[in-house]
Structure formats: C-alpha cells, structure tokens
A and B are shown apart, each in its own frame.
Chain A
C-alpha cells in the first residue's frame, strides 16, 4: 500500500504516489484534462474515485473505478426545474457512513446519491431553508465546501457554506439548524447574526464528534458541543485571523493545524513566511512549524487544499495556488516539496492503494 495524494487543480487531477517513507513522490496526471477539479476523494468503501469537476459551462461529478484510467460522468445532477436556482459549481464529494454519497455545491446546495454517483437528489430542506435569503456569496461563490458525516450515525451531518455559516442535522438532512453562535461576521452590520458567517473550512474531529474546528473569514474557532457554542482561538499566538487551510490529527482531538494568511485583502502567507501553525492544547496556544518550508513565499492555500493521512506519525499535506504540494511525514515537524509547477492547486486529499 502506498499513500496517494489526490491533487485537484484548475486544470485537471494529479495523483502523487509516495514511497514507504512518504518522502519521495511520483506524479501522475493530469487526469480529467481541462476540468477544474475543485475536490477529489477516494471512497474507502469500494475504492472508487470521485471528482467535483467544473468546466466553463458549470459543474458535474466524475467517477472512476479503475484508479483514474477511465471516468464516467453523473447522469442526473441539478436543481429542480420549477425553482429559480441553478447549480453553478460542484465543490465537495463526501462518502457517507452507509452506501450514500454527499455532494456540496454552489449556490449553497447539498445533494445525495444512493447509486454511487450516477444520480444525485438535491436536499430540499437546505434548498428552501428559512434563512436562505440572508446568505451571501463570498469571493468563491456560495459554496457548500465542508461535509462531515458522523462515523456512527449517518443521520448526523455538519456542513459549512460560505457565506451562510455552519449547519447541522440530526435527521439525515430533513431539517438543518444554523450553529454559528459566537462566530464573528465583521462584514455584516449586525452583531452575532444567526447566519451569514463566512466559514472557510469546518472539520469535525474523527474521534470526537462533539469537537469541531473551524477556520473562518473572521477567526479560528473550536466547539466542544457540536457547534452549539464556539470559542475564538486566534488571539493566542496566531499571526492573523484569516486563512483557509485546516488540518487535524485523528489521534489527538486537541491538535489542529492552520496556515494563516495576511488578511482578506491580501491572501498570501502571513508575513510572506510560509508556515503551518500547530496547537496541541485545543487552541490555547500555537507554534509555527517552518522546517523545510520557504520563508520568502507569498503564496495562498485554498480551503480544500490541505489534508492529513492519519498514519503513524500523521502525514500532513497542502497545495498552493502557485502549483506546489508540500508534504510532512512527521506531523508537521519537517516539510518537503512533493510536487511543483502544477496548475493552481484547488484541493488535496489522501488515500492508500497499490
């Protein structure tokens, strides 16, 4: 088994294959030539690859059952014909806990497939959510980019939409509760709105479903009650409240990794110094990890462009808009460039196969 890094780029999908030490990488691709791959993932249940693939006309989903050699396109994917909204882009595919798949898209829409991605049904409750008229599209559109399915209960999901906020369901998506209490929305006139927060990435910890980490347009947050309340963490040593990337350690719910950027106005590595900031105490303190990372690098890392492999020690990965993929086989202590000169990196995921 080898670690593979699925790198979705503005021009196709690349697959990086690591050696046993996760220090040498072979680059294959581009696959899905011409498509912007906003996100690609391997379904651990059957090994199928899924890509949220976008082209000049809109978005679709591709599926491959032969490790990317051939692809099939979704046959049925779209919003109801009697509505005003249309699917602008596909953003994130997430395998569920049973046989199902979830797909997030723009404008803040969620789809479910029960036939391995051939047909997708829009989630009605989210589509007609009572707060929808208060949602705002961010610079990346109104993208539903984060989907967390509870490992034990397939009816429990936590999702993130930019700029609508974090929502959770306990009934498989029949109803959705906004859970943004305590997260800032400095760009809105009111204090503490129910929705409208610009969540950049939200991740439920794999070992503790009550613990959620969030990198927001306005701050980094942790919740210990599944989103009911949030504690702001970026006053504790992080150089900036702004960023997109977020990585976790599946064995340590108190650990998280972010890549802060200068500001919303200047979306590059904070101070032109590329570093991964780590906390191991739930966000009470942060330290910067820079060994092997360029210290004069005005690069940006997008919301889907970071991942971890969960091996021992935990491998961390992120990709830049300048087409590099950085890898750490030792939990962030040391980094190396696994690939360079790729198209702008939109997404990074990991998987293992031969």
Chain B
C-alpha cells in the first residue's frame, strides 16, 4: 500500500488524519481515493495550483503528473507550494496582470 501524507490544513479537513494508506496504481487514483480529493484536485480533475506532490521524492508536476505510477511502498507527499506565503504570491500575480 502506498502512503499519502497530507499538509496540516488538508489533514484537518480529513478529520485530523495526516496519513492515508491507499491501494492505487497511479497518483491520480490515490488522490481520488482521499476524503480531501476536492482540495487536491480541481473541478477538471487536475492538480490544484500551489498544491505540489512528490512521489518518492520526485516532483510530479511537469513530469507524469497524475499518471505517475505508484509502487506498493511508494511515499506520496502532498505539500503547499510555498507554505503561508502562497496566497500573497497569487494576489501579486493577479495585480501584475490587472489593469485597474
């Protein structure tokens, strides 16, 4: 069983559980099995912005993304892109592209 470890906010929303053992062939299957699937994936089923995932230490974004294969002993780490500061960066990026 692969193990998925969540950041604090997602663990809080998962009833306080930080780690989940999942029987899944791909990262997408694993995340979709979680009670916080909607917080990991957006409405198009894609990894949300600023939610980063490492499978066995490798960043999946721009690589195999949700198709990343899992092994029975895989460790999946879900992390915030930049803990704490991330929303400010989004706001800044919005400002830079905004007219008024």
Chain A residues at the B interface, C-beta cutoff of 8 Å: 10, 33-36, 54-58, 60, 73-75, 77-81, 86-87, 136-141, 163, 187, 198, 217, 264
Contact = CB atoms under 8 A, between A and B. Distances in A.
Given A75-B38, A78-B43, A86-B44, A136 B99 contact: yes
B69 interface: no
B1 interface: no
B72 interface: no
Contacts, number: 75
Interface of B: 8-9, 12-13, 38-40, 42-45, 48-51, 80-81, 83, 86-87, 91, 94-95, 97-100
Nearest to A185: B100
27 contacts: A33-B12, A34-B9, A35-B9, A36-B87, A55-B9, A56-B51, A56-B81, A58-B42, A60-B38, A60-B39, A73-B39, A74-B38, A75-B38, A78-B44, A80-B43, A81-B44, A81-B45, A87-B42, A136-B98, A136-B100, A137-B94, A137-B98, A139-B98, A139-B100, A163-B100, A187-B100, A264-B100
Contact of B12 (A34, A36, A80, A141): A34
A77 B51 CA distance: 18
A162 to B, nearest CB: 8
Contacts of A75: 38
A66 B99 CA distance: 42
Contacts of A187: 99-100
Nearest to A136: B99
A229 B9 CA distance: 46
A20 to B, nearest CB: 36
Given A75-B38, A87-B42, A56 B98 contact: no
Contacts of B43: 77-81, 86-87
Contacts of B51: 56-57
Contacts of B95: 139
A264 B51 CA distance: 32
Among B42, B45, B91, B100, chain A packs the most CB atoms within 10 A around the CB of B100
Nearest to B8: A34
B80 A138 contact: no
Given A34-B9, A86-B44, A56 B99 contact: no
A193 B8 CA distance: 46
Nearest to A75: B38
A217 B100 CA distance: 8
A36 B38 CA distance: 17
Among A75, A78, A87, A163, chain B packs the most CB atoms within 10 A around the CB of A78
Contacts of A60: 38-39
B92 to A, nearest CB: 10
5 pairs of A and B residues whose beta carbons are closest in the complex: A78-B43, A57-B48, A34-B9, A187-B100, A56-B86
A75 B39 CA distance: 10
Nearest to A10: B87
B100 A138 contact: yes
Contacts of A87: 42-43
B21 to A, nearest CB: 22
Nearest to A62: B13
Given A56-B81, A56-B87, A79-B43, A198 B100 contact: yes
A65 B100 CA distance: 39
